[in-house]
Amino acid sequence: MDLQYQLKAGSYCLYDMRETPSAITGERRCRLRTELVAIAFDLVTGQVHEHGSPTRIHAWALCMRRRLRAAGDWDQADSIVVVSGPLPVDEINKCLGIRGYCRRMFQRLASLPHGKLQPHAHAHAHGAHGAYGAYGAHAGRHQSHQGQQRRAA
């Protein structure tokens, strides 16, 4: 897989993994930084057409649907689907790297965790498990952590 998204400081960064990391920083250049990610794909085959910032991808999909309908290809136009939002980085990268994966992800979309909620350092100390341990119970755990700090003071 040549292109890969990573979550950096709350933003999605797209990296080209073929690019050599900087000799100074040791990191690759971020080719795209966006708050949310959108993926346009074919609902039937799961093939990714475009990915990137939601504004650009939605505009691309609208234009492509119009062109396909003008050419009389209504079925192909209707099969273009755009998914956008705070998607989990590993799911986005699987869509880019595994042919047809978008179709499977789309079927599970409602059950996917929020892509930007990452476990905090103190979350593991309070019993959070898994890659998305902070999802769902984050607010309650944060409040109890603050309460423990108040009692200790």
DSSP states along 83-143: EEES--HHHHHHHHHSTTHHHHHHHTGGGSPPTT----HHHHHTT--STTTTTTTHHHHHH
Regarding whether 133 and 63 lie in a shared domain, the answer is no
Is the CB of residue 100 less than 8 Å from the CB of residue 41? no
Cα distances (Å, whole numbers) of residue 38 to 26, 54, 132: 28, 5, 21
Regarding whether 122 and 95 lie in a shared domain, the answer is no
HEC-encoded secondary structure of 12-33: EEEEECCCCCCCCCCCCCCCEE
For residue range 74-88, what is the model confidence (pLDDT) as tens digits?
A: 999 999 999 999 999
Regarding whether 112 and 143 lie in a shared domain, the answer is no
Regarding whether 92 and 153 lie in a shared domain, the answer is no
Regarding whether 29 and 97 lie in a shared domain, the answer is yes
pLDDT at 119 over 70: no
Regarding whether 78 and 15 lie in a shared domain, the answer is yes
Regarding whether 10 and 79 lie in a shared domain, the answer is yes
DSSP one-letter code for 37: E
Regarding whether 127 and 83 lie in a shared domain, the answer is no
Q: Which residues contact 56 (CB under 8 A, 6 or more apart)?
A: 38, 50
Q: pTM of the predicted model, to two decimals?
A: 0.72
Cα distances (Å, whole numbers) of residue 28 to 9, 84, 109: 16, 25, 30
For residue range 11-70, what is the model confidence (pLDDT) as tens digits?
A: 999 998 888 787 888 788 888 999 999 999 999 999 999 999 999 999 999 999 999 999
Regarding whether 104 and 68 lie in a shared domain, the answer is yes
**What is the per-residue pLDDT for 20?**
79
Regarding whether 91 and 142 lie in a shared domain, the answer is no
* Percent of the chain with pLDDT strictly greater than 70: 76
The span from the CA of 83 to the CA of 74, in Å, is: 20
The tally of domains found in the chain comes to 2
Residues of the domain holding 145: 117-153
Regarding whether 107 and 140 lie in a shared domain, the answer is no
